[in-house]
Amino acid sequence: MAQGLRAAIDFLLYEWLQAQTLCSRARYADHTRETFDAVLDTCERIARDKYAPFNRLVDTEEPRFDGERVILPAATHEAWKAYAASGMLSAAQDYAVGGMQLPYTVEAAGNAFFAAASVSIGAGMLTVGNANLLMAHGTEAQQRAFALPEFAGRFSGTMCLSEPQAGSSLSDIATRAVPDGEGYEADPLGPRYRLRGNKMWISAGEHELTENIVHLVLAKIPGPDGRLPPGVKGISLFIVPKKLVTPDGQLCGQRNDVALAGLNHKCGWRGTTNTLLNFGEGRYPVSAPGLGAGLDGQGAGAIGYRVGEPGQGLRYMFHMMNEARIGVGMAATMLGMAGYLASLDYARTRLQGRPLGPHGKDPAQPPVRIIEHADVKRMLLAQKAYCEGALALELYCARLVDEQRTGEAATADDARLLLEVLTPIAKSWPSEWCLEANSLAIQVHGGYGYTRDFPVEQYWRDNRLNMIHEGTHGIQALDLLGRKVLMEDGRGTRLLGERIAATAERARAVPALAAHAEALAAAWDAVLAATRAAWADGDPVAALANAVPYMQAFGHTVLAWIWLDVALAAAARDGAAHAGRLQACRYFFHYELPKIEAWLRVVRTRDRTCADMAEEAF
């Protein structure tokens, strides 16, 4: 399996995205394609040796709480150790803090191997995102005490947004953060607060993989009247470590009042703990001698250190959430790839049936391998088109991150804005279509596909979470149609349109791709027309009533663009693999892109069928 994945990544990274050209940038000047390859080799090897063999094990041996500790399989501990030892946790960091100064594009490509091998053993996504946020918005002291131990793999990180009564609706969070007495602002680790509240859906919220867990927690600081400020503008961000630390990131021997209230038992992604955490319920009262004056008594809350300014918490957190959304998109993509490659292997060896046609169906002839049946080919080609297309999109987005970080001012700003528009697609599209790919992988296996003797049903279960966590499909769709396509007077949409037009222009010159170029241009025009029609009178209720079908059409159009661009790179080269990419592109244009009309139709007509449905009529 890993072979097919590596070949796909190598092609996209070097032949399509020309990632090696990043080495001409000052930040990456020490790198070459060889050093990039060495990183990919290491990731591939660790994923093969420490992740893949245990993917089923972590599904069947779910995390459990023994009353004191959360028990994970030994394999998960070994995998984490190997991952931390690889240096991938600080792959993108400066040499000065022990990092590799790798482009994010290469980091994302390397991490893909772990997601394909065992998404739920988990790699460093949340820990790295957490530490990155502190590098961007924390004080130097916070970075030293929390981020650096995370990059070293001694600590791990979480993001604590949702609450049981407030999933997607962050304005309703009720976790309270109260200044921790007089002089609370003088704590070397940042303004010190006491937090009380409950956080739901916290991945990796409790475990023994690391010395400590750094929770980044959204909470509200009550006003003078004791009431929490309404809305998202009242949200602040806090570092709440599981165990209290000294300013140089050593444990100071005292547990913070963060208590596991429950493990969520999921249909997939079962190797990762998913928790309900109680902050400040009093189970681990913090008297904290030596932590500073002004503690207002035992059990008065979990200690948290404010990051940045009050009321800016959501903005800081989005720094982490955008990376997390690309990470989720990549995870969904890799689950799809894993299923695709497993079903391809199966189809190449499983004997069954005979081809149709004049000499087929003769029972005296031996059965053929099922890859010779047209419908099996269709299911494999659909998977290839979904998953390799999604992989290209995720790497393209990663490349934009590098552009934003190291490009000239104007191109960096374009990259930032384009990334804003593409992020909802990078999150939502693979979570929908690579899940569909997993269903097709099951289907290729026939009855074997739904048994636990083959890996594909687990990929499918694991992948079902991706349309929900880190922002549901519905949330992504509101973000896209309600915010991203409009922002900066639609400049992001125009930027995307320019890139689409440029790809179409190049493709018009290639006879095999010219018809696709026309189809892409027409599809983009249809998306723009639907966007305008949806917002015709500026009423968000009417505009957003069909935001999800809009996002589906937008996503399919983006993927058609990505595939056509990939096909341009493939068309210039010889060999079966390149021919396969051209065929996958053709599949996408013939079988998939025409679906957008049905989705856009309801957007364009501002169809009210769903919105008008009376509750009592269900």
Task: Please identify which of the residues 281, 394, 470, 592 carries the catalytic annotation.
Answer: 470
> Could you say whether residue 541 binds a second copy (CB under 8 A)?
yes
DSSP annotation string for 167-202: SS-GGG---EEEE-STTGGG-TTSSEEEEEEEEEEE
**Contact status: 33 vs a second copy (CB under 8 A):** no
CA-CA-CA-CA torsion sign (27, 29, 33, 36): negative
CB of residue 88 vs a second copy: minimum separation in angstroms? 28
Kindly state the tokens that stand for 420: 């804003």
Give the nearest distance from C-beta 411 to a second copy in angstroms.
Answer: 35
Return the number of the residue (85 or 610) whose C-beta is nearest a second copy: 610
Q: Which of 376, 391, 392, 395 binds a second copy (CB under 8 A)?
A: 376
> Near a second copy by CB under 8 A, which window of 297-305, 404-412, 560-568, 577-585?
577-585
Q: Which is nearer to a second copy, 231 or 247 (CB)?
A: 231
Coil vs helix vs strand at 71:
strand
- Is residue 590 near a second copy by the rule CB under 8 A? yes
- The site string for a second copy over 482-521 (x = CB under 8 A, - otherwise) reads ----------------------------------------
Q: Which amino acid is at 372?
A: E
d(CA 548, CA 460): 22
**Could you tell me the two tokens for 334?**
């890799």
Sole window of 9-17, 183-191, 208-216, 582-590 interacting with a second copy (rule: CB under 8 A):
582-590
Which residues are CB-contacts of 138 (< 8 A; sequence separation ≥ 6)? 146, 147, 190, 239, 307, 308
Q: Which is nearer to a second copy, 32 or 451 (CB)?
A: 451
Q: Which span (205-213, 243-251, 311-319, 536-544) binds a second copy, by CB under 8 A?
A: 536-544
Q: What are phi and psi of 74, to 5 degrees?
A: -55, -35
Q: Which of 26/614 has CB closer to a second copy? A: 614
Nearer to a second copy, 95 or 591 (CB): 591
* Number of other CB atoms surrounding residue 475 within 10 Å: 18
CA-wise closest residue to 520 among 557, 567, 563, 570: 557
Give just the sign of the alpha carbon dihedral 46, 49, 50, 56: positive
Give the separation between CA 309 and CA 303, rounded to whole angstroms: 17
The pattern of x and - marking residues 330 through 349 that bind a second copy according to CB under 8 A reads: --------------x---x-
Does 594 interact with a second copy (rule: CB under 8 A)? yes
Cα–Cα dist 199/176, whole Å: 12
Q: Is 573 in the site for a second copy (CB under 8 A)?
A: no
The answer to whether 199 contacts a second copy (rule: CB under 8 A) is no
Residue 32 interacts with a second copy (CB under 8 A): yes or no: no
Contact between 129 and 157 (Cβ < 8 Å): yes
Burial class (CB in 10 A: 0-12, 13-18, 19+), 476: buried
Q: Which residues pair with 369 in a beta bridge?
A: 351
Question: How far, in Å, CA of 150 to CA of 112, rounded?
Answer: 20
Q: How far is the CB of 33 from a second copy (least distance, A)?
A: 26
SS in 3 state form for 414-445?
HHHHHHHHHHHHHHHHHHHHHHHHHHHHHHHC
For position 574 contacting a second copy by CB under 8 A, the verdict is no
Instruction: Verify binding: residue 427, a second copy, rule CB under 8 A.
Output: no
The footprint of a second copy on residues 434-453 (CB under 8 A) is 439, 442-443, 446-447, 449-453
Interface residue with a second copy among 142, 256, 423, 546 (CB under 8 A) is: 546
Cα→Cα distances 401→106, 322, 415, 417, 566, Å: 11, 11, 7, 10, 19
CA-to-CA distance for 136 and 298, rounded, in angstroms? 33
Check if 470 is active-site: yes
* Residue 74 makes contact with a second copy by CB under 8 A: no
Q: Which stretch binds a second copy (CB under 8 A): 88-96, 216-224, 455-463, 560-568?
A: 455-463
Inter-helix orientation angle 313-349/374-406, to 10°: 150
Structure tokens at 516: 């696709």
Site for a second copy, residues 42 to 61, rule: CB under 8 A: none
Size of the site for a second copy (CB under 8 A): 100
Among 78, 172, 413, 518, binds a second copy (CB under 8 A): 172
Tell me if 340 sits within 8 A of 384, measured CB to CB.
yes
Contact set for a second copy, span 259-298 (CB under 8 A)? 264-268
Binding mask 214-243 for a second copy (x = CB under 8 A): ----------------xxx-----------
Distance CA(295)–CA(464), nearest Å, equals: 45
Rule CB under 8 A: choose which of 390, 547, 553, 567 binds a second copy.
547
State the nearest-atom distance from the C-beta of 553 to a second copy, in Å.
12
How many Cα neighbours within 13 Å face the side chain of 240? 36
Closest residue by Cα to residue 236 from 321, 311, 319: 311
Candidates 135, 381, 480, 562: give the one binding a second copy (CB under 8 A).
381
Interface pattern 103-142 for a second copy (x via CB under 8 A): ----------------------------------------
Q: How far is the CB of 318 from a second copy (least distance, A)?
A: 18
Taking the C-alpha atoms of residue 424 and residue 473, their distance in angstroms, rounded to an integer, is 9
Question: Distance between CA atoms of 205 and 243, rounded to whole angstroms?
Answer: 13
**261 or 371, CB closer to a second copy?**
371
Tell me: does residue 606 bind a second copy (CB under 8 A).
Answer: no
Q: Rank residues 81 and 361 by Cβ distance to a second copy and give the closer one.
A: 361
Select the residue interacting with a second copy from 544, 559, 564, 567 (CB under 8 A). Answer: 544
Looking at beta carbons only, is 179 or 474 nearer to a second copy?
Answer: 474
552 closest CA partner among 522, 585, 592:
592
Nearer to a second copy, 505 or 597 (CB): 597
Contact region for a second copy (CB under 8 A) — 80-88, 126-134, 250-258, 459-467?
459-467
Per CB under 8 A, the segment of 102-110, 126-134, 165-173, 518-526 that binds a second copy is: 165-173
| Minimum separation from the CB atom of position 571 to a second copy (A) | 14
Query: Can you tell me the distance from the alpha carbon of 237 to that of 88, in angstroms, rounded to the nearest whole number?
Result: 26
Q: Which of residues 352-371 bind a second copy (CB under 8 A)?
A: 352-357, 363-364, 367, 371
Q: Which range in 37-45, 164-172, 327-335, 408-416 contacts a second copy by CB under 8 A? A: 164-172
3-state secondary structure 315-335: HHHHHHHHHHHHHHHHHHHHH
Smallest distance, a second copy to C-beta of residue 236, A: 15
Give the active site residues.
470
